[in-house]
Structure 1
């Protein structure tokens, strides 16, 4: 049965429900790179700013970029005064770490710009889904492709992005990022906020997409009504040549 949902507000649902699911990824990357005092971090596709807030808590100077105006506004509310969050990549790029934890093919122009503007040796980290067989959410995300009448396209070729943008691949890693929700309705809202279902909503309608997401979630709903989906995410560390 389709859960009763509160009004859908994608940016706020992302900030309040979904963004924290990748905290293990953020922490693993910052630990591996030694992000801390003296680090200068620019988040590409920074969303509502949680990853930047975590870097700032480690002592780093941070700034963010996101194309979604609503998420930018939420990031500005959340981050300390003086932290720049914009809808366009700033000029000069005085940073030594660039993160794109939610990398998609759409970020290629920004990555290509980095190869021309950032200091040689600067670090670029791209994050995305791990192996399909280790991502329970894969079955749910396939709903988006089916309703939009296209092949599944939510999985990004991180190594391909590195090569296409002229960066030099250095290393990679995998991190467990389980998706846990307080209820089925919360899970539907959180997943809708990722943007993966936007095309499906345009092709059908929101209520139909909500219904089919809820049906796909059924195997992951526990006896107490919570939802738990184990996932593994992958990240690639690259360098500006």
Structure 2
């Protein structure tokens, strides 16, 4: 395959292509925690707001934190008018469910500050990649990394992050989140929108990164041209003391 070099719009590609891949994760967490009418949900790293939209559809009051202005602008278009969307922790808590579906970085430099936005006993959910052997996308990231000379960040220690933040562990789970795309070009756009390749793009020619990604995706292209990569994501639940 050869790269098409279609212009990329990372925020919109995330909202239109990639974000939906984590819907099974959002649903599993909300089901387990009983999110619904009366819940107050704060999503750290809310992006373009799909997880918040799903919580709001269950009757929850929602708020989001994200510093990506382009993604937040898209979130404002889809969420109920007046939904608090801020760059830092909002002051209108406390919340009884706090989610960080995209890893530990959403906790920020001062994890203890989170407890000031969450009520006592509130659930904090951290999520990230599951075991590498059960994540096809991990091999794509790894192969593209080797070809471009870039090294991806190590898999996050979700349990360690919970303990470091002084929170009480309260269970975990795994959820199948296959990444499916209409074609290889859509897969490249979706994967680039995750931010996983930002360092590689800065370090080399963007067209070269796209070319390597297309080659890495070849084992997952089906006869009809669609791309299918089985993945498992893991989440941990902690309680605010």
TM-score by length of 2: 0.95
Structure 2, unmatched stretches of 5+, are: none
Paired position in structure 2 for 1:207? 207
Greater Cα shift, 85-94 or 46-55: 85-94
Paired position in structure 2 for 1:112? 112
Q: Residue deviations 1:158-185, cap 9 Å, x none? A: 1111111111111000000000000000
Greater Cα shift, 52-61 or 83-92: 83-92
Contact 2:136 / 2:230 at 8 angstroms: preserved in 1? Answer: yes
Paired position in structure 2 for 1:221? 221
Greater Cα shift, 114-123 or 48-57: 114-123
Greater Cα shift, 153-162 or 8-17: 153-162
Alpha-carbon distance in structure 2 between the residues aligned to 1:192 and 1:90:
29
Distance 1:66 1:72, change over 3 A: same
Paired position in structure 2 for 1:189? 189
Paired position in structure 2 for 1:165? 165
Q: 1:109 deviation in Å?
A: 2.5
Alpha-carbon distance in structure 2 between the residues aligned to 1:86 and 1:36:
23
Alpha-carbon distance in structure 2 between the residues aligned to 1:134 and 1:120:
35
Alpha-carbon distance in structure 2 between the residues aligned to 1:178 and 1:151:
23
* Secondary structure of residue in 2 paired with 1:121: strand
Q: 1:145 deviation in Å?
A: 3.8
Q: 1:105 deviation in Å?
A: 3.5
Contact 2:97 / 2:118 at 8 angstroms: preserved in 1? Answer: no
Paired position in structure 1 for 2:72? 72
Structure 1, unmatched stretches of 5+, are: none
Distance 1:224 1:110, change over 3 A: farther
Greater Cα shift, 139-148 or 82-91: 139-148
Alpha-carbon distance in structure 1 between the residues aligned to 2:108 and 2:41:
19
How many residue pairs match? The answer is: 241
Q: 1:3 deviation in Å?
A: 3.5
TM-score by length of 1: 0.95
Distance 1:110 1:5, change over 3 A: farther
* Secondary structure of residue in 2 paired with 1:96: strand
